[in-house]
């Protein structure tokens, strides 16, 4: 909770701080109050559609509870944000007693490689045997970077040379995972969006190879989105969803943005659950997303940091 509070401090100051100031300066719940609340949420990257629906729900709840004084509405705002985040909350799907395959997708620079490293570290610390598959063969730097992280975390990596067939890497990684009795295989993929058709073709090929070897896999297709890119993250997500059938989101760099409202827009507009959030640079700073804890940390007083 303390770590999350610290990670959300920029968003809390920028968004919740402004809402609290609005509540203090407004006496009654009139049109001006609701308009200003909408403005604050839109500026926090909650998104226009999500903001309108959220404010509408808060208005209805305030009316139902016969609230007239703005000082009473803060708890309602908190409740409605939590409800919105709980609507689609699903934990990571990691089957027990069989090889779990996690495919990780996302644009270059979104924090994909570090998210894979943090995920591998987490499973490794839980005592699971983890293998990484370096299927982003488009850039030599991607393979090298993943290799460095694998060494640092203490897990094995299956890699080929730059320019080799990503499908061949995935095939070898699955067979190596079985031979070495691995619990979890995490596969990195190329993150270029310039040619959507190529991306779709490549990911489809990788998924077909995985499913041919393990029919029920991949157990998760996790899309890494950079929280600091705001609404741009949503357009990225739509392309990847179409190409890969994303099952969950990793929202990285949440500690680096003052517009953490993007998490509400992502949940509402994409209908894809946020499963993990990145709240710092450390290997342990990729956490399961909990709507309850997230909301409590978001509304915690800054003095508690």
CATH architecture of structural domain 100-289 = 3-Layer(aba) Sandwich (3.40)
What is the spatial distance between Cα 72 and Cα 198, in angstroms, rounded to a whole number? 53
Tell me which DSSP letter residue 223 carries.
E
Query: Tokens in use for 278?
Result: 């990145």
Q: Is pLDDT at 302 greater than 60 in this prediction?
A: no
Write out pLDDT tens, residues 85-115: 887 788 899 998 899 999 999 888 888 999 9
Q: Is pLDDT at 305 greater than 50 in this prediction?
A: no
Q: Within the chain, which residue ranges are assigned CATH 1.20.120.140? A: 1-87
What is the spatial distance between Cα 165 and Cα 281, in angstroms, rounded to a whole number? 32
Binding site: what residues are annotated?
A: 106-113, 188-192, 252-255
The three-point CA angle 204-209-215 to 5° equals 105
Residue where the block lists tokens 């495919």: 103
Write out pLDDT tens, residues 48-67: 988 999 999 999 999 998 88
Write out pLDDT tens, residues 155-195: 999 999 998 999 999 999 999 999 999 999 999 998 776 56
- Within 8 A by CB and 6+ apart from 197, the residues are none
Q: Is pLDDT at 1 greater than 70 in this prediction?
A: no
Residue 254: per-residue pLDDT: 79
Q: Within the chain, which residue ranges are assigned CATH 3.40.50.300? A: 100-289
Number of Cα atoms under 13 Å in the Cβ half of residue 272: 24
Write out pLDDT tens, residues 29-38: 888 999 999 9
Binding site for GTP: what residues are annotated?
A: 106-113, 188-192, 252-255
Phi, psi angles (nearest 5°) of residue 187: -110, 125
Residue 303: per-residue pLDDT: 42
Of 81, 68, 138, the residue nearest 295 (C-alpha): 81
CATH 1.20.1050.10 fits 1-87, yes or no: no
């Amino acid at each position: 909770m303390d770590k999350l509070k610290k990670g959300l401090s920029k968003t809390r100051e920028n968004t919740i701080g402004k809402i609290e100031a609005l509540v203090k300066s407004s006496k009654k719940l009139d049109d001006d109050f609701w308009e200003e609340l909408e403005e604050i949420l839109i500026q926090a990257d909650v998104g226009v559609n999500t903001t309108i629906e959220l404010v509408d729900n808060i208005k209805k709840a305030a009316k139902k509870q016969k609230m007239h004084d703005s000082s009473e509405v803060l708890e309602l705002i908190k409740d409605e944000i939590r409800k919105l985040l709980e609507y689609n909350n699903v934990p990571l799907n990691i089957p027990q007693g069989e090889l779990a395959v996690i495919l990780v997708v996302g644009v270059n620079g979104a924090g994909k490689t570090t998210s894979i490293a943090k995920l591998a570290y987490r499973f490794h610390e839980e005592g699971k045997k983890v293998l990484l598959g370096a299927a982003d063969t488009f850039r030599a730097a991607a393979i090298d970077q993943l290799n460095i992280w694998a060494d640092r975390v203490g897990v094995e990596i299956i890699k080929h040379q730059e320019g080799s067939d990503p499908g061949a890497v995935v095939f070898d990684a699955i067979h190596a995972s079985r031979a070495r009795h691995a619990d979890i295989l995490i596969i990195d993929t190329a993150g270029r969006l310039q040619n959507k058709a190529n991306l779709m073709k490549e990911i489809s090929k990788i998924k077909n190879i995985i499913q041919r070897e393990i029919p029920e896999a991949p157990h998760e297709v996790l899309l890494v989105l950079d929280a600091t890119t705001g609404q741009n993250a949503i357009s990225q997500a739509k392309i990847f969803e179409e190409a890969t059938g994303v099952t969950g989101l990793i929202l990285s760099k949440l500690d680096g943005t003052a517009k953490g409202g993007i998490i509400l827009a992502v949940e509402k507009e994409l209908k894809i659950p946020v499963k993990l959030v990145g709240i710092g640079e450390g290997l342990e700073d990729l956490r399961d997303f909990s709507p309850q804890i997230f909301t409590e940390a978001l509304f915690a007083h800054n003095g508690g940091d």
